Structure 1
């Protein structure tokens, strides 16, 4: 199998069009078409279906695409690793991250890498935790920030922080100065994503309660806006709302006496050697996370002067580790 033909095939699949791929690759369309035909002949399977608006993958094409992306990425990793031995880390690292944490972690991570490791190219891929685990297994991402824990020995990981999940309501919806208990939470009409609903359900289950879900929305900003306008309460990670308390538009309330937390980790495929470049990004992620954690953006605190309702009874936290992270 010709390596270049494999690369061309991935480019065509990503572009969804031979014409667009030829422009991206800066090669003539007939030459690109010949490479794809030769690949199909070598494999004895049709890989692409030509349509009026482009191409789509056949079943064989989808299987080859999965293999090809892993192969090409492994080759790229190998080249970057060897080049890094001769100097500072160099190359591309693909980081998977949940949508809720992307706005929090990505800007300071890019800033620090640009200052300390300018030869590293960081690519961000958003997904929920279950999807990120699949991407790690398939080699589509090098590292993933996601909800822990991970099961078995398939993945290596480093803990980053515990993040508090808080109730978001219009001011005055719940009693001031008190945490919301299971009865009160179950009685509120909620706007929740699928992942956040798993957190709430696990919190309510020991009390024999179920969440009153008014609607399910997998869009954090929409959930926040609906709570702000009084269309329903919601539950969101604390860091998503780091600027909200100062506005006075919403109240943030602790869930349960000791808070409801999710454990956030950075993980990688244990069987894959971490290159110098990936290790540099991993170390930077850990340092950035520690800086943010020390600033208190991942949990409510009684000493903070904002409208969030908190209590500080007890030290034990109610930590949940669902398979899916909140979006």
Structure 2
């Protein structure tokens, strides 16, 4: 029993007669009749009874018809899925994403694909940046989004990975509401909070970022260096500490909507360079079309001044 036989048999039943089915299939009635007779001979039972008003299914014919509907629908679904995978309309994309990207950019990306390409499923994780690098090398993630302070240094440290700039992230100062002067508004100089404890992420040799940005600033402006620096896992780890009145930190502007009331966010007068969010992936590993499509979307929405080369397939 072949799929072509099931297609012809289903067409006869759906159209109600050999004549109507033959016209719809652009076949002659004799060839259609022969196909049904061969199917009946193969199965050893009569499937259809011809009447003046059309065709009537035998009990065996009803069973074959239900089977034909199931099989042909499944085949059509499978064909559509395969075409979807090859076009990037269907697939799974595993992303390791820095929280700074989660708040500002990730919702827009997911909404776009839910609307335009609902067959693309995302697996979203937010490990620390070092783990993201490992996951990309080990094939546990397709795309990473990490912050850095020096893209060229990042490329030199990890020549096996591909990096492209997504956007620049401005930094603001997060400090307890009562510090240093709750009545003062507007930008603040870092020297004004140098007497407070500072919470910054620990230095990562594999991923230069905020610690290097601040160390460079403090080296050129020693009067702004805090009296005490405490290291935390990530920028987001510092926010609860600031909320508890333990010190201050710099955070991406996109996080300034969090923990209001006990945390105040102020612009910084000092010339602090922004963090740079980069997309990264393994250029020599096979990228399914859905992954390439997501990468292209990310880079198409990147900061206009940032390089946005098309990702390798």
Equivalent residue, structure 1, for 2:195? 187
* 1:173 corresponds to which of 162, 172, 180: 180
Q: Does 1:239 align with 2:254?
A: yes
Compute the displacement of 1:131 (Å). 2.8
Q: Does 1:110 align with 2:122?
A: no
Is the Cα–Cα contact under 8 Å of residues 95 and 125 in structure 2 kept in the other structure?
yes
Between the aligned partners of 1:151 and 1:287, the Cα distance in structure 2 is: 21
* Secondary structure of the structure 2 residue equivalent to 1:260: coil
Is the Cα–Cα contact under 8 Å of residues 200 and 234 in structure 2 kept in the other structure?
no
> 1:1-327, aligned counterparts within 5 Å?
83-84=83-84, 86-148=86-148, 149=151, 150-152=154-156, 153-171=159-177, 172-173=179-180, 176-181=185-190, 183-194=191-202, 196-208=210-222, 210-213=225-228, 215-218=230-233, 223-242=238-257, 247=260, 249-286=262-299
Is the Cα–Cα contact under 8 Å of residues 85 and 290 in structure 2 kept in the other structure?
no
Give the stretch that moved more between structures: 212-221 or 164-173.
Answer: 212-221
- Larger Rg computed on CA atoms: 2
The one-character-per-residue Cα deviations of 1:208-257 (angstroms, maximum 9, x if unpaired) are 4644446433365552233234221122121112356xx56433233453
Compute the displacement of 1:287 (Å). 5.2
Compute the displacement of 1:142 (Å). 1.0
Note the aligned Cα RMSD (angstroms).
3.2
Give the stretch that moved more between structures: 222-231 or 232-241.
Answer: 222-231
Equivalent residue, structure 1, for 2:56? none
Between the aligned partners of 2:234 and 2:88, the Cα distance in structure 1 is: 39
Compute the displacement of 1:273 (Å). 4.2
Displacement over 6 Å in runs of 4+: none
Is the Cα–Cα contact under 8 Å of residues 112 and 284 in structure 1 kept in the other structure?
no
Between the aligned partners of 2:82 and 2:165, the Cα distance in structure 1 is: 28
CA shift in 2, pair 1:115/1:242, >3 Å? same
* Secondary structure of the structure 1 residue equivalent to 2:166: strand
Between the aligned partners of 1:128 and 1:105, the Cα distance in structure 2 is: 18
TM-score (norm 2): 0.56
CA shift in 2, pair 1:94/1:253, >3 Å? same
Compute the displacement of 1:263 (Å). 0.8
* Secondary structure of the structure 2 residue equivalent to 1:192: strand
The one-character-per-residue Cα deviations of 1:150-170 (angstroms, maximum 9, x if unpaired) are 314533233211112221113
TM-score (norm 1): 0.54
CA shift in 2, pair 1:261/1:88, >3 Å? closer
CA shift in 2, pair 1:103/1:176, >3 Å? closer
Is the Cα–Cα contact under 8 Å of residues 180 and 192 in structure 2 kept in the other structure?
no
CA shift in 2, pair 1:118/1:272, >3 Å? same
Between the aligned partners of 2:113 and 2:230, the Cα distance in structure 1 is: 40
* Secondary structure of the structure 2 residue equivalent to 1:100: helix
Is the Cα–Cα contact under 8 Å of residues 96 and 124 in structure 1 kept in the other structure?
yes
Query: How many residues are aligned here?
Result: 208
Is the Cα–Cα contact under 8 Å of residues 161 and 281 in structure 2 kept in the other structure?
yes
Unaligned runs of 5+ in 1: 1-80, 294-327
Unaligned runs of 5+ in 2: 1-80, 204-209, 305-313
